[in-house]
Amino acid sequence: MLGELINPYYLQVSSFILINIILAVSIYITLGTGQLSLGHAGFMSIGAYTTAILTLNYNMPLVLGVIIAAIVTGIVGTLIGIPALRLQGVYLAIATLGFGEVVRVLFINWDGLTNGAIGLSGIPHLGREIFNLSKSMGIEPDMFGLKNNQFISLAVFFVLLIITISVIWFFVRQNNSRIGRAFSAIKMDEEASEAMGINITYYKVLAFGQGAMLAGFAGALYAHLMAYISPSDFDYHRAVEILIFSIFGGSEVIWGSIFGAVFLSAMPEFLRFINEYRFMIYGALLVLMMAFRPQGIIDVNMMNRFKRLMPKKRGEKKHGTGNKEDQ
């Protein structure tokens, strides 16, 4: 019965949407301090190639490879974020886009390690690893009335769903903390924030490093979901796409970035029946969005109205919660 309800293709699409949500959150963190970065495709590629090389060439366990890939990307992001403090706005965007292209060209030309433009194949698949682990624990797809491919797709989706929910939970909590309030203050007015004693250098580098680490983490998951990566997967189109997730949904609140990732990732699939015209509709929608609602679908005012509709907890003040979204 369960096997009749599960379509591996839709589960795979949903898994890619979850990875895009993580990428959208990564760019939201960087934008949270007013830093316009187009280097997240480069950070994503570093994470993907790091875990691929570690698991292929050094037989490192998948989980450990993903963790190390995220840490390495976070360190690189921090090192890039320090000189990037001298740049703002479009200059920072151009510099980080250039960084992403430098990384991509490096992977193309480093044939001995990355296999050049051909890319790396045979990367341990996340689903296969889960399947082998479940078999060692005595859990078989037949127990649930599923075929092997259905079981693998479902298992991958639930693992990515748990990871994505954990990432969102962590950064929602961070938004409500001293760090989140510092991010918000820096975005609104750097000079006033510095006058109030906020260490602007520390928090901007922290945001850049966190965004890079999360993008590298998403790239590592992408590598193990696809089992194949190449430099063309991380070109400047990918960098712009990640930024659009947050800009379209609304970069002022984390839920806007999440909505943008879900909507823009799912829309081409819903429009697949009109073939090549679906991308025309995709582009037209983005143009209309920028013309009539440049702040994005979800903004602070919308979130405040939503919060007023929610039932108040006992003892909670009605004039606000002090969250980043309220500021």
Domain boundaries, the chain: 2-235
CA distances (Å), 257 to each of 127, 238, 261, in order? 27, 16, 6
Which pLDDT score, from 0 to 100, does residue 319 have?
47
User: The whole model's pTM is what?
Assistant: 0.90
Residue 322 has pLDDT above 50, yes or no: no
- Is the model's pLDDT at 308 over the cut of 70? yes
Residues 223, 50: Cα–Cα separation, whole Å: 10
**Which pair of tokens denotes residue 261?**
């990732």
Residues facing 229 on adjacent strands: 120
The proportion of the chain whose per-residue pLDDT surpasses 90, expressed as a percent, equals 46
- Label residue 5 exposed, middle or buried (CB < 10 Å: 0-12, 13-18, 19+): exposed
Which residue bears the tokens 């969005």? 289
pLDDT range class, residue 278, cuts 50, 70, 90:
low
Contact 160, 18 (CB under 8 A): yes
Choose among 33, 10, 47, 23: nearest CA to 238: 23
Q: What is the pLDDT of residues 240-254, one digit of tens each?
A: 889 888 888 888 889
Name the token pair of 3.
């096997």
Q: Express as a percent the part of the chain with pLDDT over 70.
A: 90
Nearest to 211 by CA among 91, 36, 86, 48: 36
Question: What is the C-alpha to C-alpha distance for residues 49 and 52, in angstroms, rounded to an integer?
Answer: 5
Indicate the range of 32-36, 196-200, 269-273 predicted with least confidence: 269-273
Cα torsion at 300, 204, 262, 272 (round to 10°)? Answer: 120
**Tens of pLDDT, residues 82-138:** 888 788 888 888 999 999 999 999 999 998 889 998 999 999 999 899 988 888 888
User: According to the model, what pLDDT value does residue 320 have?
Assistant: 47
